[in-house]
């Protein structure tokens, strides 16, 4: 069909559409700020077989502040897969255009192919109860595993290299999440020990005692020497971690409330000083209104906001929470499941992939991820 609109008419239509989208976003933000957490969420029913399409703008993407300008008006949350026991560790491979993620309790890793939306359900199995994943500067997969506790690298020839398994001669607890600093090729990871405390997600090697092998900590593997160094143990249970957009800060989610009565549910931040970190402090609290949940995996976007996979507080909270660089909560993505981890990917790095309990979700957002994985 031909378009008979004049250029002036086309400009007016475009302007009207932009004004409508801005107005709808502002209205959504105002309603969301005043309404109960679950009021806008169609979290469960929308994903049932045969359910009607969601009317745009997606009501489960909730601006809470004018600074949240990342909701794409004509993009909705998609469920790409369901069938995992505990979905974790999504990592995007830009060269091969696929997403890798872990089913920790299923002892396997899965792969989503961007080119045809297909899923490989046994991309890697067994994985020694692999959890967090990333890719290094050479495109090699790096995985945190719990049985035995180690950070490993899958080489291009198919062999597996153990990068870290002990510190000062004592076994690591159960490495959880991992990132790479491209400025020097170093590998940073957390070691909270969850996988060694449960038969379900590991060997339960340490299950007879509530105490971990090591004090829970954040570590750095030198990119040249391979030396393992402890960065900080001033945290109860370090979980997800990410760098700021300029690599000058390190953010770490503390999920210690799962085991320590004195722990706070928060995200902490340190200044990065070369090979060390300093000035550890609280970045933000995971308490929102009358609910306190836990931040798990976290990622930074190109504008410096922190996107936190969230859960364990129930309907209207579980999903993703977005924080401005100063720690203010500015947005929320409500999911029908606890979200364990997330990453930015896709051709433009503007697609947010969310590993949530039994499922994998994705949504296009109006900002790029700060880092390649």
- How confident is the model at residue 210, as a pLDDT? 52
Pair of tokens at residue 212: 């971990």
Return the ∠ at Cα 267 (arms to 266 and 273), rounded to 5°: 145
Q: How confident is the model at residue 43 (pLDDT cuts 50, 70, 90)?
A: low
Q: Cα–Cα–Cα angle for 352, 354, 358, nearest 5°?
A: 155
pLDDT at 48 over 80: yes
Residue 246: what pLDDT?
97
Query: Which residue did the predictor score with more confidence, 246 or 8?
Result: 246
Spatial contact of 155 and 179, defined as CB atoms under 8 Å apart: no
Asked if residue 203 has pLDDT above 80, the reply is: no
Closest CA to 266 of 303, 233, 292: 292
* Pairwise CA distance, residues 157 & 329, whole Å: 44
Burial (CB count <10 Å: 0-12, 13-18, 19+), residue 204: middle
Give the pTM.
0.89
Task: Output DSSP code: residue 365.
Answer: B
Q: Is the pLDDT of residue 36 over 90?
A: no
The domains located in the chain, with CATH, are 35-364 (2.120.10.30)
pLDDT digits (tens, 9 = 90+) for 129-178: 999 999 999 999 999 999 999 999 999 999 999 999 999 999 999 999 99
Beta-carbon contacts of 273 under 8 Å, excluding residues fewer than 6 positions away, are: none
Q: Which residue has the tokens 């039994």?
A: 358
pLDDT at 44: 76
Mean predicted lDDT score pLDDT of the chain: 89
Distance, in Å, from the CA atom of 116 to the CA atom of 127, rounded to the nearest integer, reads 25
Which residues on neighbouring strands pair with residue 356, listed in sequence order?
Answer: 359
């Amino acid at each position: 069909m031909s378009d008979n609109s004049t250029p002036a008419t086309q400009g007016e239509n475009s302007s009207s559409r932009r004004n409508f989208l801005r107005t709808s976003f502002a209205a959504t933000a105002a309603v969301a700020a005043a309404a109960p957490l679950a009021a806008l969420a169609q979290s469960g029913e929308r994903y049932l077989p045969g359910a009607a399409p969601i009317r745009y703008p997606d009501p489960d993407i909730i601006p809470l502040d004018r600074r949240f300008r990342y909701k794409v008006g004509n993009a909705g949350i998609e469920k790409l897969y369901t069938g995992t026991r505990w979905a974790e560790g999504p990592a995007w491979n830009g060269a091969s255009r696929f997403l890798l993620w872990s089913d920790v309790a299923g002892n396997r890793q899965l792969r989503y192919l961007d080119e045809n939306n297909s899923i490989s359900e046994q991309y890697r199995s067994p994985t020694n109860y692999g959890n967090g994943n990333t890719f290094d500067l050479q495109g090699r997969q790096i995985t945190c595993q719990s049985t035995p506790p180690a950070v490993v690298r899958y080489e291009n020839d198919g062999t597996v290299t153990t990068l870290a398994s002990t510190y000062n001669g004592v076994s690591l607890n159960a490495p959880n999440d991992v990132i790479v600093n491209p400025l020097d090729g170093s590998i940073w990871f957390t070691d909270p020990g969850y996988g060694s405390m449960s038969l379900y997600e590991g060997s339960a090697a340490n299950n007879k005692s509530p105490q971990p092998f090591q004090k829970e900590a954040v570590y750095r593997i030198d990119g040249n020497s391979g030396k393992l160094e402890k960065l900080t143990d001033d945290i109860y249970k370090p979980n997800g971690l990410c760098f700021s957009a300029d690599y000058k800060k390190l953010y770490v989610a503390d999920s210690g409330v799962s085991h320590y009565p004195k722990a706070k549910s928060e995200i902490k931040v340190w200044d990065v000083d070369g090979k060390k970190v300093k000035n550890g402090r609280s970045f933000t609290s995971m308490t929102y209104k009358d609910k306190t949940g836990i931040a798990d995996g976290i990622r930074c976007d190109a504008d410096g906001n922190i996107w936190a996979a969230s859960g364990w507080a129930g309907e209207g909270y579980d999903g993703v929470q977005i924080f401005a660089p100063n720690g203010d909560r500015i947005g929320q993505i409500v999911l029908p499941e606890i979200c364990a981890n997330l990453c930015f990917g896709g051709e433009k790095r503007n697609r947010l992939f969310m590993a949530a309990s039994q499922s994998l979700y994705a949504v296009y957002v109006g900002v790029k991820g700060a880092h390649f994985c």
